[in-house]
Structure 1
Amino acid sequence: MKILYLDPALSGTTSGNSSTSTRLTEHWRNLGHAVTSLSVRGEFPEGEAQLRKLINESDLLVALHATHCHSILKIWHDLQKPVPLILIVGGTDLFAPVLESGEVSTEFSWACEESSRIVTLAAGLDAYYPAVRREDWRAKTRLVYQGAEPVKWNCQQYDPQQAVVIGHLRSVKDPLLPVRALEILREKWLLEQTTLKDVRLTIQHFGKMLDLNLKEQIEAAQVQLASGPLRWQWNGPVSETGIRQVMSSAPLLIMPSLHEGGANVVGEFLVSGLPIVASRVAGNLGILGEDWPALFDAGDPQALADLLLRWNQEPQFREQISRAAKNLADQHDLRREEQRWADLFGELGLASAGN
């Protein structure tokens, strides 16, 4: 089978989209299919005639992020939809318009309507479909958790003094929330040094500055929280290899996002048995579950500060998170993810490789 994949990842950057794209195309090739990846960011040097040819010569179209892929999907539609479409739901694609206006975008709605299958990367996202279309879209929605290769630790146990945030700096990821949480903890430490004398915590943020409106505040935090028992530092973008090296020291992952569609990095930490504290938003809950022991309300620095202090000071709390992470590790097994894609292709009558 020939798969044409519409890839929204920005070239030259490490991101959740780029990790997802690399992993999925590898799965599909492992299943024996020929895959052509087409970047949907920027201009198309191939021209519309070549795009039409690529679509007509394919057996399946897979699109990640309806809005970014919309112009090519319109060409596919103009060709009378010659091949099936699988739409993979991105978090920003679904939630950004919902948070702004209370409704999904026109592009997202159109793509869901026209697709043969809709894939979500976290459970429960179908609850955010429009009520009038929810039943029909839910019927063709399939959940495929993102898989990952476990990271081997270079230590024997978690380091309660180390935490990380992994993600590009943009407002939807709320990168300043951990800064505000540390400021709350620093004030508490100054008032209660006797009881909190052993508190030590460094939060490192890895990611590219995509929202320049955050630049001044980020630079100020770099200075204000550069020293002392409670520190924060921004380390800029890091490669996937670099991320895995960071993970090998068994830090705590902080997921402060205002919304998520099912972050790749969450699966990477879970499959490696690594701890997570996360905002109580749909994409996080759809992976971790409502009973995850370390959830906080999105945008609430005090709640995050309380969890960080517990993580730092309470071995029993760390053990509780550890057990929860290990219980979900199999959910993100790479072979299980690949099999789910094989099953999905089979549903569409496209199971045979090499067609």
Structure 2
Amino acid sequence: MHIILVTPAGPDSKAGNRATAVRWQSLLEQNGHRIEVVTDYRGEPCDLLIALHAWRSADALQTFRQHWLDKPLIVVLTGTDIYRYQKEFPEITRHSMAVADVLVGLHDKVSEDIPASFHHKLVTLRQSAEKPSPGGCPTVEPEHFDVCVIGHLRDEKDSLRAALAARLLPDESGIVVSCAGKPHNDEWHNKALNESRDNPRFRYLGELDKPALHNLMAVSKLMVISSVMEGGANVVSEACRAGLPVLASDIPGNRGLLGDDYPGYFPVVDERALAESLRRAETDSRFLAGLKAEVEALAETFTPERELEKLEFALARAVARAGNQDAAAEVP
């Protein structure tokens, strides 16, 4: 099929929406589809349209339906769609959900937070990550217990929570938190720089390219994802594929990837609880090994092959629904 994929993130962006679009383009082209990734859709013809973000892509969705009423349409629900814009802009967000033939959720608990009337449209897939290839020996500072935080610095990510937790650790702790990501604005940039200057346990690395991120994960003993909302963070997929233990905020977007029984949750926006979990991971080898075993067991759920299988299922279901055919197929 000729598929247009709309993302609000521009070509030079390293935002999650752009990364998802580029990865899906690569996966679907492997199966013979022709994929155009655009940020501005103006009614161009295609066989099917995929829109990343129900709220941010609302204009594109309206334009598509005005030009192509009967063509298949897939809308991918992001964390801000599910946990913010449904409440702040319910008419726009839910209209985008209503005009879609298929809704794609990126973690297993999305159905709990969207209207029941849309459940029949929902296809759940987990974003994939390549298994890191063996490289050279990364430089590890033996006196440090390195912890990484990876992701754009913004309110939704609560990006400095691990830094605040590190301030509460005892003097004998060797924990050092390294944070990599582009700041959302000048305020976040200044906050990260100030924290890096004032907190000896925190280093702000700025935005890193993929090789540098892989190196950061390789030298780290633990990753923290402290978000207050997530639609299904790809960095969790990357950590699982790398065998990197995770401490995660207790939110649906993390539980929907790691599972309800995962032992590494901490209460959201609670640096004291996070500090306790960090210290436990540093001093209790059995706890850290248990986290590692959990993420390694989950790794096979984040493979490109599994993601492509679910993408093809979503395409087939959208085509069937747009053609008023029976779309009640078995979910792979």
Residue pair 1:94, 1:105 contacting (<8 A) in 2 also: no
* Cα displacement string for residues 36-84 of structure 1 (whole angstroms, at most 9, x for unaligned residues): 11114xxx7xxxxxx22x1xx2110100001221111111122252411
Please, which runs of 5 or more residues in structure 1 have no aligned partner? Answer: 45-50, 190-196, 351-355
Aligned partners of 2:155 and 2:77: how far apart in 1? Answer: 20
Alpha-carbon spacing, 1:68–1:163, altered in 2? closer, same or farther (3 Å)? same
Aligned partners of 1:215 and 1:243: how far apart in 2? Answer: 19
Residue pair 1:3, 1:59 contacting (<8 A) in 2 also: yes
1:275 to 245, 261, 273: 245
Give the number of aligned pairs.
316
Q: Name the SS of the counterpart of 2:238 in structure 1.
A: helix
Q: Identify the residue that residue 47 of structure 1 maps to in structure 2.
A: none
2:60 to 67, 72, 79: 72
What displacement does 1:155 show? 5.8
1:210 to 177, 181, 184: 184
Aligned partners of 1:314 and 1:109: how far apart in 2? Answer: 46
Q: Name the SS of the counterpart of 1:331 in structure 2.
A: helix
5 Å matches for 1:38-77? 38-40=38-40, 51-52=42-43, 54=44, 57-77=45-65
Deviation larger for 164-173 or 104-113: 104-113
Aligned partners of 2:304 and 2:68: how far apart in 1? Answer: 35
Q: Identify the residue that residue 238 of structure 1 maps to in structure 2.
A: 208
1:110 partner amino acid: H
Q: Identify the residue that residue 194 of structure 1 maps to in structure 2.
A: none
Residue pair 1:161, 1:200 contacting (<8 A) in 2 also: yes
1:141 to 106, 113, 122: 122
Alpha-carbon spacing, 1:176–1:248, altered in 2? closer, same or farther (3 Å)? closer
* Cα displacement string for residues 185-212 of structure 1 (whole angstroms, at most 9, x for unaligned residues): 1xx43xxxxxxx3x20111110111133
Percent identity over paired residues: 26
Alpha-carbon spacing, 1:139–1:77, altered in 2? closer, same or farther (3 Å)? same
1:125 partner amino acid: V
1:178 to 143, 162, 182: 162
* Cα displacement string for residues 282-337 of structure 1 (whole angstroms, at most 9, x for unaligned residues): 11110001111110111000110011001111110111001101110110011111
Residue pair 1:155, 1:249 contacting (<8 A) in 2 also: no
Q: TM-score, normalised by structure 2?
A: 0.89
Instruction: Give the superposed CA RMSD.
Output: 2.0
Q: Identify the residue that residue 278 of structure 2 maps to in structure 1.
A: 308
Residue pair 1:260, 1:284 contacting (<8 A) in 2 also: yes
What displacement does 1:104 show? 6.1
2:235 partner amino acid: V
What displacement does 1:12 show? 1.8
2:215 partner amino acid: Q
Deviation larger for 17-26 or 141-150: 17-26
4+ runs deviating over 3 angstroms: 152-156, 214-217
Q: Identify the residue that residue 327 of structure 2 maps to in structure 1.
A: none
Q: Name the SS of the counterpart of 1:26 in structure 2.
A: helix
Aligned partners of 1:244 and 1:268: how far apart in 2? Answer: 9
Aligned partners of 1:22 and 1:325: how far apart in 2? Answer: 25
Instruction: Indicate the structure (1 or 2) with the bigger Cα radius of gyration.
Output: 1
Residue pair 2:148, 2:220 contacting (<8 A) in 1 also: no
Alpha-carbon spacing, 1:252–1:110, altered in 2? closer, same or farther (3 Å)? same
Aligned partners of 2:137 and 2:265: how far apart in 1? Answer: 26
Please, which runs of 5 or more residues in structure 2 have no aligned partner? Answer: 321-332
Q: Identify the residue that residue 291 of structure 1 maps to in structure 2.
A: 261
Q: Name the SS of the counterpart of 1:274 in structure 2.
A: coil
2:78 to 73, 76, 90: 90
Q: Identify the residue that residue 119 of structure 1 maps to in structure 2.
A: 104
2:107 partner amino acid: A
Q: Identify the residue that residue 325 of structure 2 maps to in structure 1.
A: none
* Cα displacement string for residues 243-275 of structure 1 (whole angstroms, at most 9, x for unaligned residues): 122223343111010110000111011122111
| Matching of residue 328 in structure 1 with residue 298 in structure 2 | yes
